[in-house]
Structure 1
Amino acid sequence: PDSATKLKLLVQHGLSTLRALEKHGLQPALMIHWARSLQKTGVSLNSFYDQKEYIGRSVYYWKKTLLTLKTIKKHKSIPEPTDPLFKHFHSVDIQVFQVAAYEEEAYIAFAMLDAVEGKTDDALLAFEAIKNVVAYWNLAI
């Protein structure tokens, strides 16, 4: 195949990796980083639409992360990609004892999205169930 076809295939593969589709090979630490960054950006925005988009994308990555965290909880390792898309990102070995804190972060993001989408009752119930400082702060506002 010509170079344009090769480039197109590379981009398509890269997009499915970035979207964490199928066997994406993304390290959980990278997905956590993206989810946190998107959530932080979303919270800082004034536009309701932009908040919803950024926090929604954060929730998407948190959901993908939760799937890999289940594997870690079972004391199974996550295979490292042989040819990572982000070579500069150093993988972090997530330990079983860290999983609960990451799950809590994900649930806070889910509740924040509920709040932004106007599902106030769902958001309140979720924040009340989480019972940490961030959840209490969100309940207060």
Structure 2
Amino acid sequence: MEDYHPPKLENQLCFPLYVISKEIIGLYRPFLNVLDITYSQYLVMMVLWEKDGLTVNQIGEKLYLDSGTLTPLLKKLEIKGFVIRERKKEDERVVQVFLAEQGRNLQQKACEIPAKMKEKLNLTTEDLFELKETVQKILNKIQQ
């Protein structure tokens, strides 16, 4: 008969990653509430601030989201006046997303968020860099 040892939560890598993700998103909430966007919408806006006019699929690739998850986010951002969705003339199945003027203006306000988060976390630039590098290493191994 085999010894049965159920996995312990404290020994799992996934649990602290899950909790830290949830908690960090919670720390973003007050800053994003001022901008009237959710964390997921913030991610979409950051992608568009970096490169405007991407297709829904291109945004999804960058954020690891499928179009079924992304489409409602984009609709809400469009209703708020931050983005404009347009079907490509060459292929109407493809939807491109552009920043509206209000979305461009939002970028200036959002520029303050990284510094506020760094202050809230009370970590050095080196600590943050090391943490991001380690997490990226794990992500890269998962994607291999």
The higher relative CO (CA closer than 8 Å, separation ≥ 6) is in 1
How does the TM-score come out when normalised to structure 1? 0.30
Larger proportion of strand: 2
* Greater gyration radius: 2
How does the TM-score come out when normalised to structure 2? 0.30
